[in-house]
Amino acid sequence: MADVSIGNIYSTKVPGYEDAADIQSALRTYHYGSSSYDETNSNTAALVNPSIAYHLKNIQDSIDALEALGTGSVVSNTQPTVVQEGLLWLDIDSTPGNAPEYPTAVYTAIEPSTPTDGTLWVVKGSSPLEMKIYNGTTEDWDTIGA
């Protein structure tokens, strides 16, 4: 049987048109990349590239890698020594003040009238787009990136 590759993005193989129709062989070729592939194989390193099974393995590997990253945060009483990009650390021993503030983001052309410390203001209509953060200590807006 002469297998031929199909598809440019996620290529796989199908039996050649000149071959006799054999649905089992055709499905094995399409899914595993070869009509002679042993479906009882449990070693994913032996998957034929290109094949649908090979592409599914790559997708599963990507999912496993994302799941291994966890939630993207750590709750502990010691600061992590190795930090992955985008990681958030919450000190389990920290306590909020008695009057917590709830920062928010605002998209408006008019300066917000009652901002709290950390409020983000994206100035609507500014070009290039301007973003400011409210500094409760100085009671003023600091332009981000300026």
Tally the domains of the chain: 2
End position of a domain, from candidates 21, 51, 68: 68
Examine residue 86 and state whether it is found in any structural domain, yes or no.
no
Indicate the residue type of 135.
N
Q: H/E element holding 54?
A: helix 52-68
Domain membership of residue 64 as a residue range: 3-68
Cβ neighbors of 133 (< 8 A, separation 6 or more) are 118, 119, 120, 121, 141, 142, 144
Examine residue 124 and state whether it is found in any structural domain, yes or no.
yes
What pLDDT is attached to residue 145?
80
What pLDDT is attached to residue 26?
86
> Omega into 96 within 30° of 0, i.e. cis?
no
The CA distance from 121 to 112, in Å, is 8
What pLDDT is attached to residue 60?
93
Statement to judge: residues 12 and 63 lie in one domain: yes
What pLDDT is attached to residue 124?
93
Examine residue 79 and state whether it is found in any structural domain, yes or no.
no
**What are the φ/ψ torsions at residue 97 (nearest 5 degrees)?**
-65, 175
Examine residue 95 and state whether it is found in any structural domain, yes or no.
no
Q: Tens-of-pLDDT digits for all 146 residues of the chain?
A: 588 888 888 888 888 878 777 888 888 888 888 888 888 888 988 898 888 999 999 999 988 887 776 666 666 778 777 766 666 677 777 766 655 456 688 889 999 988 888 899 999 999 888 999 999 899 999 998 87
Examine residue 119 and state whether it is found in any structural domain, yes or no.
yes
Examine residue 35 and state whether it is found in any structural domain, yes or no.
yes
Examine residue 28 and state whether it is found in any structural domain, yes or no.
yes
The CA distance from 5 to 16, in Å, is 9
